[in-house]
Amino acid sequence: MSWLIAILQTLLFVALAPLLAGWLKWCKCCLQNRKAPSLFQPYRDLIKLTKKQPVVAGHASWLFTIAPYIIFSATVLAATVVPLIAVDLPTSASADVIVMVGFFAFARFFLALAGLDIGTAFGGMGSSREMTISSLAEPAMLMAIFTLTMTASTTNLSVAISHVLNEGLVLRPSFVFALFALMLVAIAETGRVPVDNPVTHLELTMIHEAMILEYSGRHLALIEWASQLKLMLYGVLVANIFFPWGIAETFSLQTLGLGLLVILGKLAVLAIFLAVSETLVAKMRMFRVQEYLGFAYLLGLLGMLSHIILETSR
Amino acid sequence: MILVLAYGAVLLSFASGLLALMMNQRQILLEFSQYWLKKFPDSYKLGRSVLENSLQEGRYSNVLRHAVFMLLGLSGIFAVLAGLSVMLGREIITDQIGLGLPWLPWHVRFDSLSGFFYLIIGIAVTAVSLYGPGYVHAYDENRHPFAVLGLFTGLFVSGMLLVLLADDAFFFMIAWELMSVASYFLVAFQHENPANRHAAFLYLLMAEVGALAIILGFGVLASFSDGFTFDALREAKLSTTWASIAFVLALLGFGMKAGIVPIHVWLPEAHPVAPSHISALMSGVMLKVALYGLIRFCYDLIDTVHWQWGGVVLIIAGTVSALGGILYAMMQTNLKRLLAYSSVENIGIIFMVLGLSMIFMANGHPQLAALGLLAALFHAFNHALFKNLLFLGAGIIQHQTRELNIEIMGGLIKRMPHTSKLFLIGCMSISSLPLFNGFVSEWLAFQTALQVDVLDNGVLRSLIPVSAAALALTAALAAACFVNVFGMIFLGQPRSRHSEKAYEVEDKGMLAGSALLAGLCFFIGIFPGVIIHLINSVAGQLLGQTLPNDSAFGWLWLAPVSAEQASYSPPLVLIAALIAAGISFWYLRRNPATVMRRAEPWDCGFGGLTPRMQYSSRAFTMPLRRIFAKAWIIDERIGKDMQGAMNQDVAAIHYQLQIQDHSWPRLYQPIAQGINKLAKQVGRIQTGNIRVYLGYSFVTLLFMLWVIS
């Protein structure tokens, strides 16, 4: 039973990710006085892409054609770890939050290699920038996560979320710091404004798009889907770690349904926040990202220190 | 029986060295065999024909080369068996050999710790012996005689194995010196190049300074005990000050060999100039022997007094080495130099986790200390596997392209399909990606660091998470570094004629050696429980404490502290990954109408992509070079050639980049200058006048008489 729910949850993750992207786009359009596409436009795009014949550069190697599948599967694996509608699922025990970060690293490794494979300047540029930003983001992310894991004394996400749930509403200064750190990292890792701009193809600003410039057809669909999934994963992480209320702790139809509704609401609100910030903030220069991520790291560190100094009773 | 295997490994490697000496003695062997056949004319026909065949002029060197490496491989297999059996049996075997000075027999002790490092050496030597014959084939016999290479390889391996067996300080130092000096000759093997001689001398110098520090460390212990056997040293009761001095000396000595920042400078000089299979052994294995020395010294010989601050020192030194190592590695364009710096990084990680383990031990948490030791030893094992693999891969690439500069390679993934796959596995392991072995030890390191809540000291509790974040940064930078390496060498379009014309290596052995290591990287990544079970016996003997969940979860799960706290199941993850990839692959490719079409890549409408338009390694690392600019001494020059009327058109742009290690101008040059100054001062008393020298002798004599009376 619990395995079934785990599989269903993962499928739900995969299925809902384009919807979140559509909702985000819809919010942004409304804020920017543009006519919004349908909420289901990302699904249509994905279907269209899977039906198209992919065009691959003449001298692309096997790595280029296999990379989208690896990227997609690694991201799906990361999704199995994160509790979406229910905690205490068996899949969350097979890998903890550090492994989840590892899955992202896995996907990124192949994405960067694929960017280098064709040998165009754009691909190399994207790979170089992506690896730079991610290597700065990873310590900040782990710092924020360590704060959580030390509070709950576990790296298992499901157990950690149950711990936060059981403690009730306690205002922890460390969590406030960690929340902001994680949000900053999430924006950098998912390639949103102000670190990267997913809607442009301008050579000076591209990071993620530069790497996947040579992809088309089903390959592009997989990569797009994976990045939508990644956005949703970070959203769920923020929502469920810091505001876990509503997530199902028992497996009855009612609680699960409630869990689904609640997480959809939380994600919708988060997306609105993201849309507002993307509308208000301009993309920053590449070499200011280090300051941004340094700030995120500092927040994570402050969270950790306030946990150690203020919250551990000794 | 186990001891026979262990001795057998040493003797076989020694024998392989001696056999290599026969390279130039074909004539003597020929005469001997003729004499033998005359004397026993009715010996086996088969043996006779084999003997005659192998002594033929054209074949002899090839046969001998294979025989030497076969002996070396046997030695490796023996070492693996000995190590495995002593760890599985959880025994401690002691013995004495009547060699050396008559009143000082060599004491031998073979326990789980030695056995674990025996296993590491054994695997590496086996892989190298598969790889070796094909690789050394390319050397010109007149300029680079195989006899020298083979002899010192054998001595080097037997020296390393003997270090692990030693149970008294004398024997330990003899074996240690055998290892150091033999490897010096291997580094200096291609001595016609002055840079290589310089590197070899630097290596020898630092190895000997390190050895002095180790001798002094043993000396401190010995002065508090009655004898030089390790048993006596264990009994020594030291004051805290003396224990700290001994610890610092050992850290200096073993750290110099292991290559922690800032005493790492010999590593990036020596590793690139040695033959690739030797650099694989030096980087993958010899550094581990230094690690063994440190663990033996700190965990076994000294009392526990120094552990708290010793652990802090190790954590700081390890963090600095890890970050410094990977940052320096990233800026290298010589592949083997890059790998050498990356060894500094990995040794740093190991030291850091070892420091954690010491701190937990000092604070009375032996179980967490065992976890730290486990993570450190596991990472040492993994590093031996993937660093060997990468060095062997670098050797193949050098063999096929005659190049080590990654800036002028490219596109080799199509020219060398097998090598590229093996190298990719190495890159993924070292970047600690899930499903491969590097990730498991890194995961264990994080789990150890996250247990800091049990400590009472607030400073430590905030220092350790920061170092864990540094570990995260290191891992991420390592991934960036190896994306760069793999991308520049294997992906894109060839940047030089050599890599355009390169082809896959023909020698099956070279691929088999690498494939063995790559297979182990993957296997250990999926079933880490196998190795953890073995290391547990080491922890049991050293700390008297093993991990509780060793058998509770079995091979499927990894749950170092408790299942509640953290668990990781690589086999399940692998299955899930295969399912996810399989479904997407099958679903998307079901329609034959949408098979891929090949076309020209998009070139912005300007036409004609050339290999020079690709990102180079320098360009790839440029953002990080700007962000961490303080970490290096960067000398960047852009020159322009002008032409045309008024000299205003730019004809060509030259870009020069020199990146140097901070440790040279900051640490070594002042030391060298100081020594020179001191020598000049000493030179003053050497007047060259015989009367003054007689005066010195007289004063010395008087002084001695006064001392004696």
pLDDT tens sequence across B607-616: 778 888 899 9
- Segment B155-197, tens digit of pLDDT: 999 999 999 999 989 999 999 999 999 999 999 998 888 999 9
Average per-residue pLDDT for chain B: 89
Q: How many CA atoms lie within 13 A of B510 on its CB side?
A: 27
Handedness of CA A201, A204, A208, A214 (dihedral sign): positive
Among A235-239, B377-381, B658-662, the range scoring the smallest mean pLDDT is: B658-662
CB-CB neighbors (< 8 A) of B576 in chain A: 77, 80, 91, 94
Residue A139, number of CB atoms within 10 A of its CB: 27
Bridge-based pairing of strands B93-97 and B106-110 is antiparallel
Q: What is the DSSP string of A75-141?
A: HHHHHHHS-SSBSS-THHHHS-HHHHHHHHHHHHHHHHHHHHHS--HHHHHHHHHHHHHHHHHHHHH
Burial of A22 (0-12, 13-18, 19+ CB in 10 A): buried
Q: Would the pLDDT of B664 be above 60?
A: yes
Give alpha helix (H) positions in chain A: 2-31, 41-51, 62-81, 91-94, 97-117, 121-152, 157-167, 173-189, 208-211, 217-242, 253-280, 289-306
* Model confidence pLDDT, tens digit, residues B49-67: 776 777 777 788 888 889 9
Residue B550: C-alpha distances to residues B69, B371, B528, B539 (Å):
38, 11, 11, 12
CB A218 within 8 A of CB A139: no
pLDDT of A251 above 60:
yes
d(CA A222, CA B588): 9
* CA atoms of B572 and B526, how far apart (whole Å): 9
Position B63 scores a pLDDT of 87
* CA pair distance B314, B260, nearest whole angstrom: 10
Tokens of A102: 């590892």
Ramachandran region, residue B507 (left: φ > 0; alpha: ψ -120 to 50; beta: rest): beta
Minimal CA separation from B281 to chain A, in Å: 28
Sign of torsion over alpha carbons A290, A291, A295, A301: positive
CB contact under 8 A, A56 and B598: yes
Chain B nearest-CA distance from A35, in A, is: 31
Tell me the pairing of strands A55-57 and B597-599.
parallel
CA angle, corner A78, sides to A76 and A81, nearest 5? 115
Of B433, B446, B594, the CB nearest to A105: B433
User: What pLDDT was estimated at residue B552?
Assistant: 45
- In contact, B406 and B497? CB cutoff 8 Å: no
What is the distance between the alpha carbons of residues A159 and A145, in angstroms, rounded to a whole number?
A: 14
Distance CA B443, CA A96 (A): 10
> Residue A95: which of B573, B589, B627 has the nearest Cβ?
B573
Contact B541, B92 (CB under 8 A): yes
pLDDT level of residue B33 (50, 70, 90 thresholds): confident
Q: How far is CA A66 from CA A174, A185, A224, A264, B624, in A?
A: 42, 28, 15, 33, 28
CA angle, B332 then B338 then B339, to 5°? 175
**B568 vs A96, A125, A128: nearest CB:** A96
Nearest Cα to A63, choosing from A131, A109, A8?
A: A109
- The predicted complex's ipTM stands at 0.95
Range A163-202 burial, b when 16+ CB lie within 10 A, else e: bbeeeeeeebebbebbbbbbbbbbbbbbbbbbbbbbeeee
Tokens representing A119 are 């040998």
Whether a cis peptide bond, with omega within 30° of 0, leads into B262 is yes
Distance CA B463, CA B440 (A): 23
pLDDT in tens, B443-459: 999 999 988 888 888 88
Rounded to whole angstroms, how far apart are CA atoms B471 and A135? 11
Containing B499, the helix (H) or strand (E) segment is helix B497-501
b (16+ CB within 10 A) / e for B363-379: bebbbbbbbbbbbbbbb
Rounded to a whole number of angstroms, the CA Rg of chain A reads: 19
Q: In angstroms, how far apart are the furthest CA atoms of chain B?
A: 105
Q: How confident is the model at residue B530 (pLDDT cuts 50, 70, 90)?
A: confident
Q: Which of A116, A156, A286 sits opposite B567 (nearest CB)?
A: A156
Instruction: Give domain limits for chain A.
Output: 2-311
Neighbouring C-beta atoms of residue B586, cutoff 10 Å = 9
Digit-coded pLDDT (tens) for B328-359 = 999 999 999 999 999 999 999 999 999 999 99
Task: Say yes or no to pLDDT of A168 above 70.
Answer: yes
Confidence label for B122 from pLDDT (cuts 50, 70 and 90): very high
In this prediction, residue B84 has a pLDDT band, given cuts at 50, 70 and 90, of: very high
Q: For residue B282, what pLDDT is reported? A: 92
pLDDT at B305: 57
- Could you give the CA distance from residue B319 to residue A115 in angstroms, rounded to a whole number? 31
Looking at chain A, how many residues does it have? 314
A96-to-B323, B533, B566, B576 alpha-carbon distances in Å: 25, 22, 6, 15
Q: How many CB pairs under 8 A join A and B?
A: 260
Residue A313 has pLDDT above 60, yes or no: no
Does the distance separating the beta carbons of A77 and B622 come in below 8 Å?
no
List of chain A residues whose C-beta atoms are within 8 Å of the C-beta of residue B593? 53
Q: pLDDT (tens digit, 9 = 90+) per residue, B387-444?
A: 999 999 999 999 999 889 999 998 999 999 999 999 999 999 999 999 999 999 999 9
Q: What is the pLDDT of residue A179?
A: 94
- For B644, the 3-state DSSP assignment is coil
The yes-or-no verdict on residue A58 having pLDDT over 90 is no
C-alpha Rg value of chain B to the nearest Å: 28
Chain B CB contacts of A287 below 8 Å: 623, 626-627
**Cβ(B434)–Cβ(A102) below 8 Å:** yes
Contact call for A74 and B577, based on CB within 8 A:
yes
- E-state strands within B426-481: none
The secondary structure of residue B453, as a DSSP letter, is G
Chain mean pLDDT for chain A:
90
Q: Which residues pair with B642 in a beta bridge?
A: B650
Q: Which two tokens stand for residue A170?
A: 């306690």
* C-alpha span between B136 and B156 (Å, rounded): 17
Q: Rounded to an integer, what distance in angstroms lies between the CA atom of residue B617 and that of residue A125? A: 11
**Structure tokens of B374?**
């486990």
A93 with B480: Cβ contact below 8 A: no
Query: Are residues B620 and A142, on separate chains, in Cβ contact within 8 Å?
Result: no
**DSSP assignment, residue A252?**
-
Neighbours of B563 (CB within 10 A): 15
How many Cβ atoms are within 10 Å of A121's Cβ, its own excluded?
17
Q: In angstroms, what separates the C-alpha of A27 from chain B's closest C-alpha?
A: 30
Mean pLDDT confidence for A278-297 = 91
Hey, what are B363's tokens?
């604070």
Q: Which amino acid is at A268?
A: A
* B479: chain A residues, CB-CB within 8 Å: 105, 108-109, 131, 134-135
A72, A134, A217 member nearest B476 (Cβ): A134
Beta bridge partners of B598: A56
Residues in B closer than 8 angstroms to A116, CB to CB, are 483, 487-488, 491-492, 615
How far from the centroid of its chain's Cα atoms is residue B343's Cα? 6
Residue, of B531 and B594, whose pLDDT is higher: B531
The Cα-based distances of A109 to A61, A127, A130, B574 in angstroms read: 16, 9, 10, 17
The pLDDT value recorded for residue B611 is 87
Name the packing angle between helices B458-490 and B417-430 (round to 10°). 170
Give the residue-averaged pLDDT of A294-303: 93
8 Å CB contact between B112 and B537: yes
> Per the structure block, which two tokens stand in for B185?
């000759």
Distances (CA, A) of B468 to A179, A284, B325, B449: 19, 29, 16, 6
Q: What φ, ψ does residue B654 adopt, rounded to 5°?
A: -110, 135
pLDDT (0 to 100) of residue B285: 92
Provide the shortest C-alpha distance from residue B256 to chain A (in Å).
Answer: 29
Q: pLDDT confidence of B26, banded at 50, 70, 90?
A: confident
Interface residue of A131, A141, A174, A202 to substitute, partner B, most B CBs within 10 Å: A131
CB within 8 A of B260, min separation 6: which ones?
A: B317, B318, B320, B321, B344, B347, B348, B351
pLDDT of residue B563 exceeding 80: no
Cα distance between residue A192 and residue A208, in whole Å: 10
Question: What was the pLDDT predicted at B688?
Answer: 83
Is residue B551 over pLDDT 60?
no
Residues paired with B639 in a beta bridge: B654
Task: Supply the DSSP string of B248-294, one letter for each residue.
Answer: HHHHHHHHHHHT-TTS-THHHHHHHHS-HHHHHHIIIIIHHHHHHHH
Neighbouring CB atoms inside 10 A of B649's CB total 11
Token couple for A210: 């530069």
Residue in B414, B577, B619 nearest the CB of A77: B577
Percentage above 70 pLDDT, chain B: 96
Question: How many Å from the N-terminal Cα to the C-terminal Cα in chain B?
Answer: 57
Average pLDDT over residues A77-87: 90
Q: Flag whether pLDDT at A42 surpasses 90.
A: yes
Question: Quick one: tokens of B557?
Answer: 């799960």
Residues A18-31 have pLDDT tens digits of 999 999 999 999 99
